[in-house]
Structure 1
Amino acid sequence: MLLRLSPQLHPPRGSFPLSQRSLPSTSLSFPSTASPLPSLLLFSQTHNRYRHRYHPPPPLSSAGLLPSLESFQSVIEATSVLTAIILVHEGGHFLAATLQGIHVSKFAIGFGPVLARFVYPKGGVEYSVRAFPLGGFVAFPDAEDPDCNIPADDPDLLRNRPVVDRVFVVSAGVAANIAFAFFLIFAQSLTTGLPLQEPLPGVLVPDVRPGSAASRSGILPGDIVLSSPSVSDLVNIIKSNPEKSISLKIQRGGLTDPLDLKIIPDLSPDGTGRIGVQLSPNFRVTRLKAKNLAEATNFATREFVALTGSVFEGLKQTFLNFSQSAEKVSGPVAIIAVGAEVAKSSADGLFQFAAVINLNLAVMNLLPLPALDGGTLALLLVEAVRGGRRIPREVEQIITSLGVSLVVMLGLFLIVRDTLNLDFIKML
């Protein structure tokens, strides 16, 4: 799973020099690690509509080393969401194959060591749950496999099916994720309601670093800076005034009148000013709940279109500015960390978190790249253009194997790196 952290999903943990990364969003991707239909998900959330309130870093246990029970619960919730999305994606491939009578040999959730497995019916499909619930796969029998007892000319082998049948199987995972995303939004509109953000004046200060310029000047977490209409404007003012006094009008809860505070930004290593705070847009979240199915369909459709546009815009910015965004790519550990933060802020935020991930999975898997559903579709398109003449098997296997190997190696590297970057691991 790959994840690109870029501004706007939830506030980053800890303190850092003032910057415009007040609400980091995410992009993520994961491969189906052992499937002839590998999957890739890139999650890019470019708005903050389901961030409800700031949560500080989780408390530690009495030993001072382990995350709290609340943190474990939110991690389990985030992992469950990802597992459900994987199940839906692989279930789409599986259902499309079985409806057409195509042989399927394995259906797995997770990767790595097998925790539980059963075969149904006898001699049929092997269903398994594996140790790491961060991927999944649907495997199809291959007549060239020594363990396969199916004749090479069996018309129900996936490879022997017409191009149209194979396209249906390959694209079904994407279709399932799109349908699931709409269902989640539809369900949210009927139950908890869709979140709406009502902009409020000023810029919110969720956190202040102890000993920073902001702390010395009397700025407190929860203050609202009325001097600037947006986060970017305030960032520019402070960055352009290192070691110079600036005036900020502060609204503080419990006080009737705003405060006028003088602050002198510290000089950062790059020569710009910083005051050591986190910033976010100031807004109030309300709920739009449908009264009937027709209204729910209308609300869900509009929200689905908006989220899809956000996903495409996020992916567009990722690819157009890849040189700047490459260092922000993270793996499944960071994905779960982001989902856990959303779960702690608001459990119903997981609705849109899951919807956006589904949409990203769908869009990314349609890219014509090796190791993606889109790459497989591209090979099928070439075969169709060639009048049904197949691409040499050796060439197809080399292309797919190289793509899968690259994604898996990158994923393993990011898992290790992201694990080492976790807060409680750093404290160890």
Structure 2
Amino acid sequence: MSTFLGSVWWMIVSLGVLVTFHEFGHYWVARRNGVKVLRFSIGFGRPLWSRRGRDGTEYVIAALPLGGYVKMLDEREGDVDPAEASQAFNRQSVWRRIAIVAAGPLANLLLCIALLWAMFVIGRPDFLPVLGQVQGIAAEAGLARGDTVLAVGERATPTWSEAAIALTTAAMDRGDLDVRVRTPEGDEATRTLRLASLPADMDERRAVRAIGLVPRSHLLPAIVGSVREDSAAWGVLADGDRITAIDGSPVDSFDAIGPLVQALGEQGGAGMVEVQRDGERLALELTPTLAEVEGRAPFWALGITPDTAQAPTPDALLRHGPLAALPAAVAETGRLASDSLGMIRRLLTGRASAENVSGPITIARYANASANLGAAWFLSFLALLSLSLAIINLLPIPILDGGHLLYYLIELVKGSPLGERAMVAGQYVGLAMLAGLMGLAFYNDILQLVR
């Protein structure tokens, strides 16, 4: 399956699952409270499939799979048979209406816990948080190659994914950050990162690199995958060569080749490149050539690419037994919720870039990528998306669940419902806010594709 088709398919699967649970939350609580549900729709637009249940509800799968809705009997939306008036949503007490509206986000929250439980039971493969390259701010703090990151701040980091998320979040705040590590010698130590010195124009999605850290798992072995024709290495190096040294400096990963080639090119003349080929050790003479690529300054190059088939394989497994997985899932849900709310706060205060707002294109890409990594990673992605859906729906924006809850809280305070004009005005404001948010999300999505 192509990347495009895979992305579309897994986005439809993801949104279908999450929206179904969300709307089922509304439906189930409405029915428990005696409210008649007219339609339960997954998707919008023209129905592709529909069936009427014995309870009178029309169940629909519609053409546009970007949401869904539950339509309840309501006297504000049309004439209601007097015999069914007691089943109308607007006739229910304010507390029952609050329960029905809050049930959707609550269903997504419970689904998040269930998905994380399943993820922990299956076991999510990952990489140990061992540092491969250390430069810049990280080197100044005393971090070194081979250190294992045990905790970032107060957050334990059993895998590199946890460490990367914690470091990225802290980089946005640009404060001092304590990192607890275990050195290659087995000693534990605490290093303090001075994140205030990060550049103001830092790309937050590459914050870990900006700090100066590259994990061991991201370093490819220094094995030649291909040699570009008519390049400096053409006819000298061969596919499968393992480069061990350049001009006397040892090479232990493909990333180390670039800086050594630059130094060799700047000093001028030829240098010796040591390689292992078919069990033999060879010393070959090479002279880097100056390469020009649009969008970057000229640089010295050999004309080789890495062998990506030799990429490191996961060496850690995030897994718990069925009983231990439940508290772990609840704790992880709390951590993800804290991270999500923190990101919203940073966006509102300007401490995080608006480029962090993503739309359906990015969701589709991540859905496909996580599905290709295996069931555990896809469950983890679904859990985060489910939690995000719950949080977004609870924002006090009219037309979202949070906006309706705000209306009902105002009704509790003033003792009577808001006037129709005020509610209509709120709906227009909500539509404008939602349209602006969606526009920003689509803009960021397209910008990422262009980049």
Shorter chain as normaliser: what TM range?
0.5 to 0.7
Partner of 1:302: 331
Q: In 2, distance between residues paired with 1:182 and 1:375?
A: 25
**Residue 383 of structure 2 corresponds to residue 355 of structure 1:** yes
Residue among 20, 23, 28 paired with 1:95: 28
**Residue 363 of structure 2 corresponds to residue 344 of structure 1:** no
Residue among 168, 181, 200 paired with 2:112: 181
Residue among 309, 313, 318 paired with 1:288: 318
Matches within 5 A, 1:1-400: 68=2, 72-73=5-6, 75-121=8-54, 124-146=56-78, 148-151=79-82, 154-190=85-121, 192-200=122-130, 201-202=132-133, 203=214, 204=218, 284-291=314-321, 293-321=322-350, 324-326=353-355, 329-386=357-414, 388-400=415-427
Q: In 2, distance between residues paired with 1:142 and 1:344?
A: 44
Change over 3 Å in CA distance of 1:100–1:397 after alignment to 2:
same
Change over 3 Å in CA distance of 1:209–1:372 after alignment to 2:
farther
Amino acid at match of 2:381: F
Q: In 1, distance between residues paired with 2:119 and 2:277?
A: 32
Q: Which moved more, 1:261-270 or 1:342-351?
A: 261-270
How far 1:350 moved relative to its partner? 0.7
Q: In 2, distance between residues paired with 1:168 and 1:313?
A: 26
Q: Quick check: 2:371–2:378 contact (8 Å CA) kept in 1?
A: yes
Amino acid at match of 1:130: A
Tell me the number of residue pairs that the alignment of Structure 1 and Structure 2 aligns. Answer: 340
**Scaled by the length of structure 1, what TM-score is found?**
0.62
How far 1:289 moved relative to its partner? 3.0
Q: In 1, distance between residues paired with 2:277 and 2:424?
A: 63
Q: In 1, distance between residues paired with 2:14 and 2:291?
A: 42
Which structure's CA Rg is the greater one?
2
SS in 2 for 1:313: helix
Q: Quick check: 1:333–1:415 contact (8 Å CA) kept in 2?
A: yes
How far 1:385 moved relative to its partner? 0.9
Q: Quick check: 2:49–2:61 contact (8 Å CA) kept in 1?
A: yes
SS in 2 for 1:105: strand
Change over 3 Å in CA distance of 1:157–1:353 after alignment to 2:
same
**Scaled by the length of structure 2, what TM-score is found?**
0.59
How far 1:131 moved relative to its partner? 0.7
Q: Quick check: 1:153–1:160 contact (8 Å CA) kept in 2?
A: no
How far 1:267 moved relative to its partner? 9.2
| C-alpha RMSD over aligned residues | 5.2
Amino acid at match of 1:389: S
Q: In 1, distance between residues paired with 2:422 and 2:276?
A: 66
Q: Quick check: 2:232–2:289 contact (8 Å CA) kept in 1?
A: no
In structure 2, runs of 5+ residues without a counterpart are 134-213, 244-249, 268-273
Change over 3 Å in CA distance of 1:356–1:414 after alignment to 2:
closer
How far 1:165 moved relative to its partner? 0.8
Q: Quick check: 2:36–2:88 contact (8 Å CA) kept in 1?
A: yes
Q: In 1, distance between residues paired with 2:110 and 2:41?
A: 21
Q: Quick check: 2:7–2:364 contact (8 Å CA) kept in 1?
A: no
Q: In 1, distance between residues paired with 2:318 and 2:89?
A: 46
